[in-house]
Structure 1
Amino acid sequence: MIFRNVRHLRSLTAILVMLLSVASLAHAQSTREAIKSVLPRVVKIFGAGGIKNLESYGSGFLVSADGHIVTVWSHVLDADTVTVVLDDGRHYQAELVGAEPSLELAVLKIDAQDLPYFDLNQLSEAGPGTRVLAFSNVFEVAVGDEPVSVVHGVVAAIDDLSARSGRYDVTYSGPVYVVDAVTNNSGAAGGVLTTREGGLLGM
């Protein structure tokens, strides 16, 4: 009887391993599809910088089919010419059409049509423990049709932001996702945080 139980246990273990492998494969495929769908909606932004080691590049994301882009309000936009590079390598000169410094948000516009974009009326939600993806042009690794970087992480907490940048208080004080991944390297500002399914969570 003991040997029979052990044999059944081995069979059950084999079945569980097989089921977990199938589930893991399906999850990996789903994540790959989500990344594939998000990448064309994220853009690289190039503008002012180079003084006092300030980077001259950043990230943004499309929010309309006709070229509206949300990004962070920063020194990168303080230039005579701001260039936006799409996922497929196309270059556009961007116009600053709006900004809200208290939220550190800016909206750019490029002359393009039929672009993939995030619908801001369909935001996703996440809680502590939710696995997420962060997309941005960290360290200027993408300057043409190269994809931006993708970082996997987990939401550790959701809280109201209270922080300083050097000697200055950060102007934004609303809710933020605290993620256990390094997502604040040079060029990451303006990138997007999504669910593992590609749903927009925030910037």
Structure 2
Amino acid sequence: MKSIKISLGFMLVWLCAPLVNAAALPDFTELVEDASPAVVNISTVSRSEQSLSTPFGHFEFHGPQGEDVPEIFRHFFRDMPQLREGPQRKAPRSLGSGFIISSDGYILTNHHVIKDAEEVLVRLNDRRELQAEVIGSDERTDVALLRIDARDLPVVKKGSSADLKVGEWVLAIGSPFGFDHSVTAGIVSATERALANETYVPFIQTDVAINPGNSGGPLFNLDGEVVGINSQIYTRSGGFMGLSFAIPIDVAMDVADQLKNQGFVQRGWLGVIIQEVNRDLAESFGLKKPAGALVAKVLPGSPAQSGGLQEGDVILKLNGKPVELSSDLPPLVGRIKPGQTARLEVMRSGEREMVELVIGTMPDEPQQTSRSAEKPAETGRLGLVVAPLEPSLKDKWAISSGVMVQQVQEGAGLQAGLVRGDVITMLNGKRIETVEQFEQVASALPAGRSVPLRIVRRGSPLFIALKTE
């Protein structure tokens, strides 16, 4: 009898377990009811040979020029299924989503949703369709601000992306493939995620199901507050694969305020080219572990040059905020207002130093910045044959000094990955001006220890670790 009671007890626990788990899951119904009215569908009109996107038609995913879709981070609408309607015909395309941030008609969406559009149409939750004015758009952060002529509109509640924690529930509302007000949910997978070619946005990574048409739609927390704008996915197939990325609302609202007040966006600029610090480089610079952003080049006339930042410095902190990865630095600098003073903690020649400088305004376009009697010289210790730098390369690659690697033989140079054509501009913290100077510095290198070597390879500056035997 006792054994029967125990068995019944276990059975009750087993039967109740799903109910307990179900009760622990969040209920999104009230959130969706409150937030949905402020979410809109956005379509555009433009001249194009492939002008109509629709969820009904031939579902073959290709790139903008018909090429096969590679394994990359994608802006959603570029791979929407498309139907040919004949050349130069105007037709509305359902490209993405947006959300209302003020009752007098201001709307946030993605830059890539409205890029190159002749007209932008907004469809509200009550089925009204209104033409929108593009107040401004910022390609670097992929944020656009629109306005429609309407009043007393429902608005979203704005939260703070800085308060997001990995593992918390989030929810997206948008128009994937044109299906308005579709709701998907998931969790925050990571925060401040850096993506390739997206240096000024610390993305929120989630596993929320995001598909073409969700672009520009809001990402909510459980309090019903917008914490991000859904922007990109990582995919091999063109559809959702569990890796979605959103622009933090703190970044988006800063951009929106600037677009509204001045029509353009200003962001801080340091004027350096940086690279990651790996284990070997960390050892060569006297760091206990790989960390920081290594300054590979200081652009001429930049705030970094005026403030005394040097090539070979490893930036460890900016205004007290740690720089663990090189990708941490650009968004930190970008959020500083031009003209403000910044304090950088750097590792220089094995010692920690503080550098103060005034942050500049980012230019619209990236800035790029001999002794003929010298003969090639062989440095047997490193296995290199180097020669004076040709004047034409100085102008082409904006190099003031250095020596050209002509041959790479067995030795430390080969082990470090040097190749013919590399230009050596700095060795062990010393700037290289001539072949003779390079020989002198190379001969004095400590044995069995990594030292930093700065090179320019096909115009791109790079630090590598060189270790002599």
TM tier, smaller? 0.7 to 0.9
Give the distance between the partners of 2:149 and 2:21, measured in 1 at CA: 46
Matched, 1:194 2:227: no
Alignment correspondent of 2:128: 90
Matched, 1:160 2:157: no
> 1:77 offset after TM fit, Å?
4.2
> Larger Cα Rg: Structure 1 or Structure 2?
2
The one-character-per-residue Cα deviations of 1:20-78 (angstroms, maximum 9, x if unpaired) are 378358x42xx100011111111100104645474532111110011100010025342
Alignment correspondent of 1:180: 207
- Other structure's SS at 1:94 match: strand
Give the distance between the partners of 1:198 and 1:109, measured in 2 at CA: 23
Alignment correspondent of 1:6: 6
Alignment correspondent of 1:47: 44
Does the 8 Å contact 2:113/2:215 carry over to 1? no
- 1:38 aligned partner, one-letter code: A
Equivalent residue for 1:151, pick from 181, 184, 193: 184
Correspondence list, 1:2-151, <5 A: 6=6, 9=9, 13=13, 20=20, 23-24=23-24, 27-28=26-27, 31-48=28-45, 50=50, 52=64, 54=78, 55=80, 56=93, 57-74=95-112, 76-120=114-158, 122-123=159-160, 125-142=163-180, 148-151=181-184
| Moved beyond 6 Å, runs of 4+ | none
Alignment correspondent of 1:145: none
- Other structure's SS at 1:33 match: helix
Give the distance between the partners of 1:118 and 1:158, measured in 2 at CA: 22
Give the distance between the partners of 1:2 and 1:186, measured in 2 at CA: 60
Extract unaligned runs of 5+ from structure 2. Answer: 52-63, 67-77, 81-92, 230-469
- Of structures 1 and 2, the one with the larger relative CO (CA 8 A, separation 6+) is 1
Does the 8 Å contact 2:96/2:113 carry over to 1? no
> 1:13 offset after TM fit, Å?
3.6
Extract unaligned runs of 5+ from structure 1. Answer: 143-147, 164-168
TM-score by length of 1: 0.77
Does the 8 Å contact 2:122/2:129 carry over to 1? yes
Q: CA 1:160–1:7 in structure 2 vs 1: closer, same or farther (change >3 Å)?
A: closer
Q: CA 1:21–1:179 in structure 2 vs 1: closer, same or farther (change >3 Å)?
A: closer
Q: Over aligned residues, Cα RMSD in angstroms?
A: 3.0
- 2:23 aligned partner, one-letter code: A
Does the 8 Å contact 1:48/1:75 carry over to 2? no
Identity %: 32
Does the 8 Å contact 1:48/1:77 carry over to 2? no
Deviates more, 1:8-17 or 1:62-71: 8-17
> 1:200 offset after TM fit, Å?
1.1
- 1:189 aligned partner, one-letter code: S
Does the 8 Å contact 2:174/2:218 carry over to 1? yes
Does the 8 Å contact 1:47/1:77 carry over to 2? no
Q: CA 1:21–1:161 in structure 2 vs 1: closer, same or farther (change >3 Å)?
A: closer
Which structure has greater strand proportion? 2
TM-score by length of 2: 0.36
Q: State the number of aligned residues.
A: 187
> 1:10 offset after TM fit, Å?
5.8
Give the distance between the partners of 1:86 and 1:191, measured in 2 at CA: 13
Alignment correspondent of 2:375: none
